[in-house]
Amino acid sequence: MKKISVIIPTYNSENYLEKCIESVVNQTLKEIEIIIINDCSQDNSLKIINKFAQKDKRIKIINNTKNLGYGKSVNLGIKNSNNDFISIVESDDSIEPNMLETLLKESTKQDYDIIKSDFNYIVKNKTIKANSFKNFNLNTSSNIFNNPEILTIKPSVWSAIYKKEFLNRNNIFFNETQKASFQDTSFQFKCFYFAKKYKLINKALYNYKTDNPSSSINSSDKVFELIDEFKTINNFFKPQTNEIASQKLLFELKAYLWNYKRIKNKYNKIFLKEVSKMFKEYDFKPFFKNKKIPLKEKIKAKLIIENSNLSLTIFSTYKFLSRKKWKTK
């Protein structure tokens, strides 16, 4: 029977860490390796980790003596793992009791590189299923050639298991820039780009907490890190088909506009200017000709490419109205 190594990168997570580790040690699948990387936490995270490790021999601790960052911490966990599959669980999240058993059972049916479940958003004590796979055929295994739309799903590297041999063979690791963020963007893209076969499971088995104030998603001063992730993607990406090229551009467009809505207003102009500069270097012909791409997405891309000042006005107005609407709810 194949086995899973669970990687838990940890940095100042004392408020969430106990629930996270409990959800892993109490899995219905018992034969697992648990690797917790304490990335030089300044709070009580290490004490919490040690408490669990004293009771559970499956737990292995990597204690960084200096802060290395998320990417390098996960990579350390992967390199020090001893099992067939890798699972990544973030220290402020939790997993359903049967997540690992469910995903591993699926791996026995075919030779999958990735088996991925859906997930829940945890918003202030409310649980909301992401419905990530509502537009996908879940009855067959897939790759980017028969299902290129997979490249556009929200980065969610943690609701999956990955064959370690597949990661090593394709040199798939996280970017290791210390203070970078959104490093799951290029990691997930690489995984689906190189996977010969993956399987999607329409069960929400991972619980993703959205209201951690120290999370990258809530840091509006992180502006250009996402652009760096796409520069990483551009270093290996080859558009084997027009459909694959179009879906990559759609993913990039959506990611930038999502980032635009969360950054501080003072960064609006300089961010859009940088995105416009990048888009002008791309070949958007397949994107604009593709009938599967919604017209509104084509208009957004055309605005950014041809008139960054006009797009600034339109997107800034939409951003203002969206925040005003949210505040009145």
Token reading at 278: 């990048």
Q: Is 3.90.1150.10 the CATH number for 4-214?
A: no
Give which of 108, 86, 74, 115 is closest to 205, Cα–Cα.
Answer: 115
Give which of 202, 204, 205 is closest to 139, Cα–Cα.
Answer: 202
- Is residue 199 within 8 A of residue 108, CB to CB? The reply is no
Give which of 263, 271, 252 is closest to 311, Cα–Cα.
Answer: 271
- Look-up: residue for tokens 């390199």? 79
Token reading at 23: 């959800």
- Would you write out the chain's pLDDT as a tens digit for each of its 329 residues? 899 999 999 999 999 999 999 999 999 999 999 999 999 999 999 999 999 999 999 999 999 989 999 999 999 999 999 999 999 999 999 999 999 999 999 999 999 999 999 999 999 889 999 999 988 888 777 899 999 999 999 999 999 999 999 999 999 999 998 766 899 999 999 999 999 999 999 999 999 998 765 555 546 678 899 999 999 999 999 999 999 999 999 999 999 999 999 999 999 999 999 999 999 999 999 999 999 999 999 999 999 998 877 788 888 876 766 654 434 33
Q: How far apart are CA 329 and CA 37, in angstroms?
A: 39
Beta strand pairing status for 32-39 and 198-209?
Answer: unpaired
Distance of CA 325 to the CA centre of its chain: 28
- Looking at 128-197, list the stretches that DSSP marks H as alpha helix, in order from N- to C-terminal side: 164-169, 184-194
Question: Which amino acid is residue 286, in one-letter code?
Answer: P
Distance of CA 144 to the CA centre of its chain: 17
3-class secondary structure, 160: strand
Q: What is the CA radius of gyration of the chain?
A: 20
Q: How far apart are CA 76 and CA 256, in angstroms?
A: 29
Q: E strands of the chain, at which residues?
A: 4-10, 32-39, 59-64, 85-88, 94-95, 114-123, 126-129, 160-163, 198-209
Counting every residue written for the chain, the total comes to 329
Beta strand pairing status for 94-95 and 4-10?
Answer: unpaired
